[in-house]
A and B are shown apart, each in its own frame.
Chain A
Protein backbone atom coordinates (compact mmCIF):
# COMPACT_ATOMS: atom_id res chain seq x y z
CA UNK A 1 0.00 0.00 0.00
CA UNK A 2 1.40 3.37 -0.97
CA UNK A 3 0.39 6.58 0.76
CA UNK A 4 1.20 10.17 -0.09
CA UNK A 5 3.45 11.78 2.51
CA UNK A 6 1.72 13.85 5.17
CA UNK A 7 1.89 17.57 4.62
CA UNK A 8 2.08 19.23 8.00
CA UNK A 9 2.26 23.03 7.86
CA UNK A 10 5.27 24.32 9.71
CA UNK A 11 4.49 27.97 10.28
CA UNK A 12 0.97 29.28 9.98
CA UNK A 13 0.39 32.98 9.87
CA UNK A 14 -1.08 34.78 12.84
CA UNK A 15 -4.73 35.53 12.44
CA UNK A 16 -5.44 32.67 10.10
CA UNK A 17 -7.94 31.10 12.46
CA UNK A 18 -10.00 33.38 14.66
CA UNK A 19 -10.94 31.65 17.89
CA UNK A 20 -13.88 33.77 18.83
CA UNK A 21 -16.93 32.27 17.23
CA UNK A 22 -18.22 30.80 20.48
CA UNK A 23 -18.36 34.18 22.18
CA UNK A 24 -21.75 35.10 23.67
CA UNK A 25 -20.80 38.51 25.09
CA UNK A 26 -18.50 41.09 23.62
CA UNK A 27 -16.85 44.13 25.25
CA UNK A 28 -17.87 47.51 23.92
CA UNK A 29 -15.58 50.45 24.52
CA UNK A 30 -16.81 53.83 25.62
CA UNK A 31 -13.81 55.82 24.40
CA UNK A 32 -14.74 58.96 26.32
CA UNK A 33 -14.39 57.10 29.64
CA UNK A 34 -11.16 55.27 28.68
CA UNK A 35 -8.19 57.00 30.28
CA UNK A 36 -5.49 54.75 28.86
CA UNK A 37 -2.56 56.86 27.86
CA UNK A 38 -0.70 56.29 24.68
CA UNK A 39 2.19 54.42 26.27
CA UNK A 40 3.26 52.70 23.08
CA UNK A 41 6.88 52.55 24.09
CA UNK A 42 6.61 51.88 27.77
CA UNK A 43 4.89 48.63 28.80
CA UNK A 44 5.81 48.91 32.48
CA UNK A 45 2.39 49.94 33.66
CA UNK A 46 3.41 50.33 37.26
CA UNK A 47 5.09 53.59 36.34
CA UNK A 48 1.94 55.04 34.83
CA UNK A 49 0.26 55.61 38.16
CA UNK A 50 -1.47 58.72 36.94
CA UNK A 51 -3.25 56.74 34.24
CA UNK A 52 -5.47 53.73 34.72
CA UNK A 53 -2.54 51.35 34.70
CA UNK A 54 -3.96 49.65 31.63
CA UNK A 55 -5.71 46.99 33.65
CA UNK A 56 -7.66 45.79 30.63
CA UNK A 57 -4.45 45.27 28.66
CA UNK A 58 -2.67 43.35 31.38
CA UNK A 59 -5.59 41.27 32.60
CA UNK A 60 -6.99 40.17 29.25
CA UNK A 61 -6.03 36.47 29.12
CA UNK A 62 -5.89 36.52 25.34
CA UNK A 63 -3.96 39.75 24.95
CA UNK A 64 -6.76 41.23 22.86
CA UNK A 65 -6.40 44.76 24.15
CA UNK A 66 -4.00 46.80 22.09
CA UNK A 67 -2.75 50.31 22.66
CA UNK A 68 -2.69 52.26 19.42
CA UNK A 69 -2.07 55.95 18.70
CA UNK A 70 -5.83 56.25 18.37
CA UNK A 71 -6.43 54.75 21.79
CA UNK A 72 -7.54 51.29 22.86
CA UNK A 73 -8.25 48.75 20.14
CA UNK A 74 -9.95 45.42 20.80
CA UNK A 75 -9.03 42.37 18.73
CA UNK A 76 -12.41 40.72 18.23
CA UNK A 77 -10.85 37.83 16.30
CA UNK A 78 -9.55 36.37 19.51
CA UNK A 79 -11.74 37.91 22.21
CA UNK A 80 -13.77 35.17 23.84
CA UNK A 81 -15.98 37.46 25.88
CA UNK A 82 -14.77 36.46 29.38
CA UNK A 83 -15.68 39.90 30.75
CA UNK A 84 -12.56 40.45 32.87
CA UNK A 85 -11.77 43.72 31.13
CA UNK A 86 -15.17 45.20 31.82
CA UNK A 87 -15.07 43.98 35.41
CA UNK A 88 -11.62 45.45 36.11
CA UNK A 89 -11.80 48.82 34.36
CA UNK A 90 -11.86 51.41 37.17
CA UNK A 91 -13.61 53.93 34.94
CA UNK A 92 -16.32 51.68 33.57
CA UNK A 93 -15.18 52.36 30.04
CA UNK A 94 -15.94 48.81 28.93
CA UNK A 95 -19.33 47.16 28.95
CA UNK A 96 -20.23 43.60 28.02
CA UNK A 97 -23.05 43.44 25.51
CA UNK A 98 -24.71 40.47 23.91
CA UNK A 99 -22.95 39.11 20.86
CA UNK A 100 -25.06 39.39 17.74
Chain B
Protein backbone atom coordinates (compact mmCIF):
# COMPACT_ATOMS: atom_id res chain seq x y z
CA UNK B 1 0.00 0.00 0.00
CA UNK B 2 1.62 3.19 -1.10
CA UNK B 3 0.90 6.58 0.32
CA UNK B 4 0.77 9.54 -2.02
CA UNK B 5 0.95 13.03 -0.60
CA UNK B 6 1.54 16.53 -1.78
CA UNK B 7 4.96 17.33 -0.41
CA UNK B 8 7.51 20.04 -0.99
CA UNK B 9 11.05 18.96 -1.79
CA UNK B 10 12.12 19.72 1.76
CA UNK B 11 9.30 17.67 3.23
CA UNK B 12 10.14 14.85 0.86
CA UNK B 13 13.71 14.86 2.10
CA UNK B 14 12.46 14.83 5.68
CA UNK B 15 10.30 11.80 4.85
CA UNK B 16 13.26 10.15 3.16
CA UNK B 17 15.36 10.68 6.26
CA UNK B 18 12.57 9.39 8.49
CA UNK B 19 12.17 6.26 6.36
CA UNK B 20 15.92 5.77 6.45
CA UNK B 21 15.54 5.56 10.23
CA UNK B 22 18.16 8.19 10.98
CA UNK B 23 19.22 8.10 14.59
CA UNK B 24 20.66 11.54 15.04
CA UNK B 25 20.15 14.88 13.41
CA UNK B 26 22.23 17.93 14.07
CA UNK B 27 21.29 20.96 12.06
CA UNK B 28 21.21 24.72 12.03
CA UNK B 29 18.54 26.72 10.24
CA UNK B 30 19.26 28.44 6.93
CA UNK B 31 16.95 29.41 4.14
CA UNK B 32 15.92 27.50 2.03
CA UNK B 33 16.80 24.31 3.86
CA UNK B 34 15.11 25.12 7.17
CA UNK B 35 11.82 23.36 6.60
CA UNK B 36 13.68 20.03 6.27
CA UNK B 37 14.85 20.19 9.84
CA UNK B 38 11.58 21.71 11.05
CA UNK B 39 9.70 18.75 9.60
CA UNK B 40 12.13 16.32 11.17
CA UNK B 41 11.77 18.10 14.52
CA UNK B 42 8.01 17.69 14.31
CA UNK B 43 8.40 13.98 13.50
CA UNK B 44 10.57 13.57 16.58
CA UNK B 45 8.26 15.69 18.72
CA UNK B 46 5.33 13.49 17.77
CA UNK B 47 7.20 10.28 18.37
CA UNK B 48 7.09 9.32 14.68
CA UNK B 49 10.87 9.29 14.40
CA UNK B 50 13.11 7.95 17.10
CA UNK B 51 16.13 10.19 16.69
CA UNK B 52 18.10 12.60 18.80
CA UNK B 53 17.98 16.23 17.65
CA UNK B 54 21.03 18.29 18.52
CA UNK B 55 20.22 22.01 18.34
CA UNK B 56 23.65 23.16 17.29
CA UNK B 57 24.70 26.77 17.45
CA UNK B 58 26.33 26.95 14.01
CA UNK B 59 26.74 24.93 10.80
CA UNK B 60 30.38 24.27 11.64
CA UNK B 61 29.18 22.58 14.82
CA UNK B 62 26.35 20.87 12.92
CA UNK B 63 28.68 18.88 10.75
CA UNK B 64 31.06 18.31 13.69
CA UNK B 65 28.30 16.67 15.71
CA UNK B 66 26.90 14.68 12.77
CA UNK B 67 30.34 13.36 11.91
CA UNK B 68 31.06 12.46 15.52
CA UNK B 69 27.85 10.48 15.63
CA UNK B 70 28.68 8.70 12.37
CA UNK B 71 32.09 7.78 13.77
CA UNK B 72 30.52 6.37 16.90
CA UNK B 73 28.37 4.13 14.71
CA UNK B 74 25.04 5.90 14.39
CA UNK B 75 23.18 6.93 11.22
CA UNK B 76 23.33 10.72 11.20
CA UNK B 77 21.79 13.45 9.08
CA UNK B 78 22.36 17.12 8.58
CA UNK B 79 21.28 19.77 6.10
CA UNK B 80 22.51 23.13 4.94
CA UNK B 81 22.77 25.67 2.14
CA UNK B 82 24.90 28.43 0.73
CA UNK B 83 26.49 30.44 3.58
CA UNK B 84 26.02 27.59 6.02
CA UNK B 85 27.72 25.12 3.73
CA UNK B 86 30.54 27.58 3.24
CA UNK B 87 30.82 28.00 7.03
CA UNK B 88 31.16 24.26 7.53
CA UNK B 89 33.69 23.95 4.74
CA UNK B 90 36.43 23.00 7.20
CA UNK B 91 34.47 19.91 8.16
CA UNK B 92 33.30 19.26 4.62
CA UNK B 93 36.94 18.95 3.63
CA UNK B 94 37.74 16.89 6.74
CA UNK B 95 34.91 14.36 6.43
CA UNK B 96 35.88 12.27 3.39
CA UNK B 97 39.29 11.55 4.91
CA UNK B 98 37.58 9.84 7.83
CA UNK B 99 35.91 7.41 5.39
CA UNK B 100 32.71 7.38 7.34
CA UNK B 101 29.22 7.43 5.80
CA UNK B 102 27.11 10.51 6.29
CA UNK B 103 24.34 12.19 4.35
CA UNK B 104 23.78 15.90 4.07
CA UNK B 105 20.83 17.46 2.28
CA UNK B 106 21.56 20.70 0.47
CA UNK B 107 18.90 23.09 -0.76
CA UNK B 108 21.02 24.89 -3.33
CA UNK B 109 21.28 28.59 -2.81
CA UNK B 110 23.63 31.09 -4.34
CA UNK B 111 26.63 32.14 -2.30
CA UNK B 112 26.88 35.82 -1.41
CA UNK B 113 27.85 38.39 -2.77
CA UNK B 114 25.21 39.35 -4.06
CA UNK B 115 23.10 38.25 -1.14
CA UNK B 116 20.50 35.94 -2.55
CA UNK B 117 18.38 33.19 -1.13
CA UNK B 118 17.49 31.80 -4.54
CA UNK B 119 19.01 28.96 -6.44
CA UNK B 120 22.22 28.38 -8.20
CA UNK B 121 24.91 25.80 -7.63
CA UNK B 122 27.70 28.09 -6.47
CA UNK B 123 27.42 26.66 -2.94
CA UNK B 124 27.89 22.98 -3.76
CA UNK B 125 30.28 23.63 -6.63
CA UNK B 126 32.52 25.36 -4.11
CA UNK B 127 32.79 21.99 -2.34
CA UNK B 128 33.48 19.97 -5.46
CA UNK B 129 37.11 19.17 -4.72
CA UNK B 130 36.53 17.97 -1.17
CA UNK B 131 35.71 14.36 -1.99
CA UNK B 132 32.00 14.32 -1.11
CA UNK B 133 29.69 12.54 -3.51
CA UNK B 134 27.11 14.91 -4.95
CA UNK B 135 23.73 13.80 -6.31
CA UNK B 136 21.35 16.36 -7.81
CA UNK B 137 17.60 15.81 -7.81
CA UNK B 138 15.07 17.13 -10.30
CA UNK B 139 11.97 16.96 -8.16
CA UNK B 140 10.60 16.11 -4.73
CA UNK B 141 9.98 12.44 -5.53
CA UNK B 142 13.56 11.99 -6.61
CA UNK B 143 14.74 13.80 -3.49
CA UNK B 144 12.94 11.35 -1.23
CA UNK B 145 14.24 8.37 -3.17
CA UNK B 146 17.78 9.71 -3.37
CA UNK B 147 18.03 10.18 0.40
CA UNK B 148 17.26 6.50 0.91
CA UNK B 149 19.56 5.48 -1.92
CA UNK B 150 22.20 7.89 -0.65
CA UNK B 151 22.51 6.07 2.67
CA UNK B 152 22.87 2.77 0.85
CA UNK B 153 25.62 4.19 -1.32
CA UNK B 154 27.48 5.93 1.53
CA UNK B 155 27.37 2.91 3.82
CA UNK B 156 28.52 0.46 1.15
CA UNK B 157 31.93 -0.85 2.15
CA UNK B 158 33.36 -0.11 -1.26
CA UNK B 159 32.50 3.54 -0.79
CA UNK B 160 32.33 4.82 2.84
CA UNK B 161 32.24 8.43 1.71
CA UNK B 162 29.84 11.17 2.71
CA UNK B 163 27.06 12.08 0.27
CA UNK B 164 25.34 15.39 -0.52
CA UNK B 165 21.79 15.17 -1.81
CA UNK B 166 21.09 18.45 -3.56
CA UNK B 167 17.78 20.01 -4.53
CA UNK B 168 17.13 23.39 -6.07
CA UNK B 169 16.27 25.98 -3.47
CA UNK B 170 12.64 27.15 -3.69
CA UNK B 171 11.90 25.54 -7.06
CA UNK B 172 12.08 22.08 -5.54
CA UNK B 173 12.50 22.73 -1.83
CA UNK B 174 9.34 24.79 -1.42
CA UNK B 175 7.11 23.64 -4.26
CA UNK B 176 4.46 21.07 -3.49
CA UNK B 177 4.30 18.05 -5.77
CA UNK B 178 2.57 14.67 -5.59
CA UNK B 179 5.05 12.29 -3.99
CA UNK B 180 4.69 8.58 -3.33
CA UNK B 181 5.94 7.87 0.16
CA UNK B 182 7.12 4.25 0.26
CA UNK B 183 6.24 1.85 3.05
CA UNK B 184 8.60 1.66 5.98
CA UNK B 185 8.85 -2.15 5.73
CA UNK B 186 9.91 -1.97 2.11
CA UNK B 187 12.51 0.67 2.90
CA UNK B 188 13.78 -1.44 5.81
CA UNK B 189 14.24 -4.33 3.41
CA UNK B 190 16.19 -2.08 1.06
CA UNK B 191 18.21 -0.19 3.65
CA UNK B 192 19.37 -2.32 6.58
CA UNK B 193 20.45 -0.72 9.88
CA UNK B 194 23.87 0.88 9.91
CA UNK B 195 26.39 -1.59 11.27
CA UNK B 196 29.91 -0.35 10.67
CA UNK B 197 32.62 -2.97 10.43
CA UNK B 198 34.96 -0.97 12.63
CA UNK B 199 33.58 0.83 15.58
CA UNK B 200 35.66 3.96 15.81
CA UNK B 201 36.18 5.89 19.02
CA UNK B 202 35.18 2.86 21.07
CA UNK B 203 36.91 2.49 24.43
CA UNK B 204 36.70 -1.29 24.04
CA UNK B 205 38.62 -1.17 20.78
CA UNK B 206 40.60 2.04 21.05
CA UNK B 207 41.57 3.70 17.79
CA UNK B 208 43.57 6.85 17.44
CA UNK B 209 42.10 8.89 14.63
CA UNK B 210 44.62 11.67 14.43
CA UNK B 211 46.31 10.99 11.12
CA UNK B 212 49.49 12.98 10.96
CA UNK B 213 50.75 13.40 7.48
CA UNK B 214 53.91 15.34 7.30
CA UNK B 215 56.56 12.92 8.47
CA UNK B 216 55.77 10.44 5.71
CA UNK B 217 54.02 12.44 3.01
CA UNK B 218 54.10 9.69 0.41
CA UNK B 219 52.22 7.35 2.74
CA UNK B 220 49.68 10.07 3.43
CA UNK B 221 49.28 10.74 -0.26
CA UNK B 222 48.48 7.05 -0.73
CA UNK B 223 45.58 7.63 1.59
CA UNK B 224 44.17 10.18 -0.81
CA UNK B 225 44.67 7.73 -3.65
CA UNK B 226 42.53 5.13 -1.91
CA UNK B 227 39.93 7.76 -1.15
CA UNK B 228 39.75 8.57 -4.85
CA UNK B 229 39.50 4.88 -5.70
CA UNK B 230 36.46 4.69 -3.47
CA UNK B 231 34.90 7.67 -5.22
CA UNK B 232 35.40 5.90 -8.56
CA UNK B 233 34.01 2.67 -7.13
CA UNK B 234 30.98 4.67 -6.12
CA UNK B 235 29.97 4.86 -9.79
CA UNK B 236 29.30 1.13 -9.83
CA UNK B 237 27.62 1.23 -6.45
CA UNK B 238 25.30 4.08 -7.44
CA UNK B 239 24.23 2.21 -10.54
CA UNK B 240 23.58 -0.97 -8.58
CA UNK B 241 21.60 0.84 -5.91
CA UNK B 242 19.54 2.66 -8.53
CA UNK B 243 18.78 -0.63 -10.25
CA UNK B 244 17.77 -2.36 -7.03
CA UNK B 245 15.60 0.56 -6.01
CA UNK B 246 13.85 0.40 -9.38
CA UNK B 247 13.17 -3.30 -8.90
CA UNK B 248 11.74 -2.81 -5.43
CA UNK B 249 9.92 0.51 -5.75
CA UNK B 250 9.36 0.93 -9.47
CA UNK B 251 11.30 4.16 -9.73
CA UNK B 252 14.72 4.58 -11.30
CA UNK B 253 16.57 7.65 -12.41
CA UNK B 254 18.44 6.90 -15.59
CA UNK B 255 21.29 4.60 -14.67
CA UNK B 256 21.77 6.42 -11.36
CA UNK B 257 24.50 8.70 -12.67
CA UNK B 258 22.92 10.22 -15.76
CA UNK B 259 19.47 10.14 -17.32
CA UNK B 260 19.04 10.09 -21.09
CA UNK B 261 15.97 11.43 -22.81
CA UNK B 262 15.69 10.54 -26.49
CA UNK B 263 19.42 10.57 -27.07
CA UNK B 264 19.49 7.35 -29.11
CA UNK B 265 18.46 9.03 -32.33
CA UNK B 266 19.64 12.54 -31.57
CA UNK B 267 22.43 14.48 -33.17
CA UNK B 268 22.43 17.24 -30.64
CA UNK B 269 21.80 17.16 -26.90
CA UNK B 270 21.26 19.52 -24.01
CA UNK B 271 23.02 18.69 -20.76
CA UNK B 272 21.27 19.98 -17.64
CA UNK B 273 21.14 19.39 -13.89
CA UNK B 274 18.39 19.73 -11.35
CA UNK B 275 14.94 21.19 -11.77
CA UNK B 276 15.58 23.19 -14.91
CA UNK B 277 15.59 19.81 -16.64
CA UNK B 278 11.82 19.85 -16.36
CA UNK B 279 11.62 22.95 -18.53
CA UNK B 280 14.23 21.54 -20.88
CA UNK B 281 12.09 18.43 -21.40
CA UNK B 282 9.29 20.61 -22.74
CA UNK B 283 11.61 22.42 -25.12
CA UNK B 284 13.13 19.17 -26.35
CA UNK B 285 9.67 17.67 -26.90
CA UNK B 286 8.64 20.69 -28.94
CA UNK B 287 11.81 20.58 -30.98
CA UNK B 288 11.39 16.89 -31.67
CA UNK B 289 7.78 17.43 -32.77
CA UNK B 290 9.27 19.79 -35.37
CA UNK B 291 11.52 16.99 -36.51
CA UNK B 292 14.73 18.27 -34.97
CA UNK B 293 17.12 15.51 -33.81
CA UNK B 294 17.47 16.74 -30.24
CA UNK B 295 17.94 14.84 -27.01
CA UNK B 296 18.45 15.66 -23.36
CA UNK B 297 20.97 14.41 -20.83
CA UNK B 298 20.38 15.05 -17.15
CA UNK B 299 23.43 14.84 -14.94
CA UNK B 300 22.35 13.40 -11.62
CA UNK B 301 25.74 12.53 -10.19
CA UNK B 302 28.12 15.46 -10.33
CA UNK B 303 30.50 13.56 -8.07
CA UNK B 304 31.66 11.01 -9.01
CA UNK B 305 31.66 12.63 -12.45
CA UNK B 306 30.35 9.99 -14.89
CA UNK B 307 32.97 10.43 -17.60
CA UNK B 308 32.61 6.94 -19.03
CA UNK B 309 28.84 7.18 -19.44
CA UNK B 310 29.11 10.60 -21.02
CA UNK B 311 31.86 9.44 -23.34
CA UNK B 312 29.69 6.59 -24.58
CA UNK B 313 26.77 8.88 -25.25
CA UNK B 314 28.86 11.52 -26.89
CA UNK B 315 30.25 9.23 -29.52
CA UNK B 316 27.02 9.50 -31.50
CA UNK B 317 26.40 13.21 -30.95
CA UNK B 318 27.52 16.12 -33.08
CA UNK B 319 27.02 18.83 -30.49
CA UNK B 320 26.26 19.12 -26.81
CA UNK B 321 24.99 22.28 -25.16
CA UNK B 322 25.91 22.25 -21.50
CA UNK B 323 23.65 24.40 -19.34
CA UNK B 324 25.59 25.46 -16.26
CA UNK B 325 24.07 26.88 -13.12
CA UNK B 326 27.42 27.77 -11.64
CA UNK B 327 30.44 29.59 -12.96
CA UNK B 328 33.98 28.26 -12.75
CA UNK B 329 35.34 31.67 -11.89
CA UNK B 330 38.72 32.41 -13.35
CA UNK B 331 38.25 29.89 -16.13
CA UNK B 332 35.74 31.87 -18.13
CA UNK B 333 33.18 29.08 -18.34
CA UNK B 334 30.73 26.93 -16.46
CA UNK B 335 31.71 24.10 -14.16
CA UNK B 336 30.04 21.13 -15.85
CA UNK B 337 31.14 22.40 -19.28
CA UNK B 338 34.73 22.35 -18.13
CA UNK B 339 34.35 18.84 -16.71
CA UNK B 340 32.70 17.53 -19.87
CA UNK B 341 35.31 19.00 -22.15
CA UNK B 342 38.11 17.34 -20.25
CA UNK B 343 36.24 14.01 -20.14
CA UNK B 344 35.66 13.98 -23.89
CA UNK B 345 38.98 15.36 -25.01
CA UNK B 346 40.52 11.99 -25.88
CA UNK B 347 37.68 10.72 -28.02
CA UNK B 348 38.62 10.14 -31.65
CA UNK B 349 35.36 11.71 -32.75
CA UNK B 350 34.34 14.50 -30.45
CA UNK B 351 31.10 16.45 -30.45
CA UNK B 352 31.25 20.24 -30.42
CA UNK B 353 30.60 21.43 -26.89
CA UNK B 354 29.11 24.81 -26.14
CA UNK B 355 28.22 26.35 -22.84
CA UNK B 356 25.20 28.30 -21.66
CA UNK B 357 25.52 29.85 -18.25
CA UNK B 358 21.94 30.20 -17.10
CA UNK B 359 19.84 30.22 -13.96
CA UNK B 360 22.36 32.14 -11.88
CA UNK B 361 21.13 33.94 -8.80
CA UNK B 362 17.82 32.13 -9.07
CA UNK B 363 16.93 33.49 -12.47
CA UNK B 364 14.36 31.51 -14.37
CA UNK B 365 15.38 29.54 -17.43
CA UNK B 366 12.32 29.47 -19.67
CA UNK B 367 11.24 27.17 -22.46
CA UNK B 368 12.11 29.94 -24.92
CA UNK B 369 15.62 30.13 -23.49
CA UNK B 370 16.03 26.40 -24.04
CA UNK B 371 14.61 26.63 -27.55
CA UNK B 372 17.20 29.29 -28.35
CA UNK B 373 19.89 27.04 -26.94
CA UNK B 374 18.69 24.13 -29.05
CA UNK B 375 18.78 26.34 -32.14
CA UNK B 376 22.33 27.39 -31.42
CA UNK B 377 23.38 23.82 -30.74
CA UNK B 378 21.90 22.66 -34.03
CA UNK B 379 23.65 25.48 -35.89
CA UNK B 380 26.90 24.48 -34.21
CA UNK B 381 26.45 20.86 -35.26
CA UNK B 382 25.79 21.93 -38.86
CA UNK B 383 28.59 24.43 -39.10
CA UNK B 384 31.01 22.00 -37.54
CA UNK B 385 32.23 24.62 -35.14
CA UNK B 386 30.59 27.01 -32.69
CA UNK B 387 30.21 30.73 -33.16
CA UNK B 388 31.01 31.34 -29.52
CA UNK B 389 31.83 28.76 -26.91
CA UNK B 390 30.42 30.30 -23.75
CA UNK B 391 27.23 32.32 -23.66
CA UNK B 392 25.72 33.89 -20.59
CA UNK B 393 21.93 33.73 -20.67
CA UNK B 394 21.11 37.01 -18.96
Contact = CB atoms under 8 A, between A and B. Distances in A.
A37 to B, nearest CB: 33
Contacts of A10: 207
Nearest to B208: A10
Interface in A19-76: none
A17 interface: no
B219 interface: yes
A22 to B, nearest CB: 16
Interface of A: 1, 3, 5-6, 10-11
Interface in B194-221: 206-207, 219
Interface in B209-260: 219, 222-223, 225-226
A42 to B, nearest CB: 26
A3 B226 contact: yes
Q: Which range holds the interface residue count of chain B?
A: under 10
B224 to A, nearest CB: 11
Nearest to B219: A6
A89 B225 CA distance: 54
A9 to B, nearest CB: 10
Nearest to A7: B219
Nearest to A6: B222
B222 A3 contact: yes
A3 B225 CA distance: 9
11 contacts: A1-B225, A3-B222, A3-B225, A3-B226, A5-B226, A6-B219, A6-B222, A6-B223, A6-B226, A10-B207, A11-B206
The 3 A-B pairs of least Cβ separation, nearest first, read: A3-B222, A6-B222, A3-B225
B153 to A, nearest CB: 22
Contacts of B225: 1, 3
A26 to B, nearest CB: 27
